[in-house]
Amino acid sequence: MTSAPLRLPFSVGLTGGIGSGKSLVADMLAERGASLIDTDRIAHALTAPGGAAMPGIREQFGDDYVTPEGAMDRDRMRQRVFSDPDAKKQLEAILHPLIRVETERAAQRASGLYPIFVVPLLVESGKWADRVSRVLVVDCPESLQVERVMRRSGLTQEQVLAIMAAQATREQRLAVADDVIVNDRDPAALAPEVDRLHALYSSLARAASNQ
Ligand code: ADP
């Protein structure tokens, strides 16, 4: 598996912890003309019935991990990879190259001013930071993450904290960031910073495509 840059003149990788406001910031940039590429959605499609990852998953893990409809059995696979690091690596070896191809293809088809890859686990998966031109991190205090996710999902505080414990820390994320948006106030307060970054990315994309 390679971590070579994508064959794109300019791209942004957007990440942040659960509940930080990634989707909110991504949507605001899309309203201004960026093209969003949602890596979670692509990963999901690859493991849906008929998805390109399904033959490899069936071969590696057997029919027990495939639903009658032909999708990956997500609950079962989640439990397996949680307790079996080798299985996690095997699954990633099937999925990651396909995700890379599909995301790059989606970016090449996109017609916006520049592509933004929304990658919840950008820091954890290690390779994305080298592939994109800039890493944008949406940041907020952990107490706000917990509050927002509890409100949105109905999960308990313990459940949200367990998800956060399995993700990179704020410090790890900020260490790879080229740009940071702090989302700790009213969503409307984000607009000036989103405008500034959009202007920066648009001009970097223009410069890169003129090279
Ligand atoms: P992520 O994609 O990082 O998990 P979202 O953008 O989905 O985060 O935001 C998580 C939840 O918090 C959503 O329900 C969203 O509407 C809400 N939210 C995001 N930013 C704010 C904010 N600044 N103030 C209040 N609620 C917010």
**Is the minimum distance from the CB of 120 to ligand 1 under 6 angstroms?**
no
Q: Which structure tokens are listed for 175?
A: 């260490």
Sheet holding 12-15, edge to edge: 35-38, 115-118, 12-15, 134-139, 179-182
Together in a domain, 79 and 121:
no
- Beta strands 35-38; 115-118: pairing state: parallel
**Is the minimum distance from the CB of 148 to ligand 1 under 6 angstroms?**
yes
**Is the minimum distance from the CB of 15 to ligand 1 under 6 angstroms?**
no
**Is the minimum distance from the CB of 20 to ligand 1 under 6 angstroms?**
yes
Out of 40, 117, 148, 180, give the residue to mutate to test ligand 1, the one with the largest number of ligand atoms within 8 Å of its CB. Answer: 148
Total Cβ atoms within 10 A of residue 110: 17
Together in a domain, 164 and 89:
no
- Give residue 206's identity as a one-letter amino acid code: R
Q: Tell me the CATH number at 183.
A: 3.40.50.300
> How much is the pLDDT for 17?
96
Q: How far is the CA of 92 from the centre of ligand 1 (A)?
A: 28
Together in a domain, 97 and 79:
yes
pLDDT band with cut points at 50, 70 and 90 for residue 12:
very high
Predicted TM-score (pTM) of this structure: 0.92
Together in a domain, 86 and 123:
no
**Is the minimum distance from the CB of 22 to ligand 1 under 6 angstroms?**
yes
Q: How far is the CA of 190 from the centre of ligand 1 (A)?
A: 12
pLDDT above 80: residue 164: yes
Together in a domain, 103 and 199:
no
Residue nearest to atom 23 of ligand 1 (CA): 187
Number of domains in the chain: 2
**Is the minimum distance from the CB of 187 to ligand 1 under 6 angstroms?**
yes
**Is the minimum distance from the CB of 23 to ligand 1 under 6 angstroms?**
yes
Together in a domain, 106 and 116:
no
pLDDT tens-digit series, residues 39-80: 999 999 999 999 999 999 999 999 999 999 999 999 999 999
Q: How far is the CA of 136 from the centre of ligand 1 (A)?
A: 16
Q: Which domain holds residue 57?
A: 40-110
pLDDT tens-digit series, residues 169-186: 999 999 999 999 999 999
What distance in Å separates the CA atoms of residue 127 and residue 45, rounded to the nearest whole number?
21
Of 50, 85, 110, the domain-final residue: 110
Together in a domain, 93 and 151:
no
**Is the minimum distance from the CB of 39 to ligand 1 under 6 angstroms?**
no
Together in a domain, 78 and 129:
no
Q: Yes or no: say if 33 and 156 are a contact pair by the CB < 8 Å rule.
A: no
Of 59, 88, 110, the domain-final residue: 110
> How much is the pLDDT for 210?
87
Mean pLDDT across 124-146: 93
Q: Yes or no: say if 25 and 188 are a contact pair by the CB < 8 Å rule.
A: no
Together in a domain, 61 and 128:
no
Q: How far is the CA of 7 from the centre of ligand 1 (A)?
A: 32
- Ligand 1 atom showing the smallest separation from residue 138 Cα: 3
Of 110, 134, 158, the domain-final residue: 110
Together in a domain, 95 and 167:
no
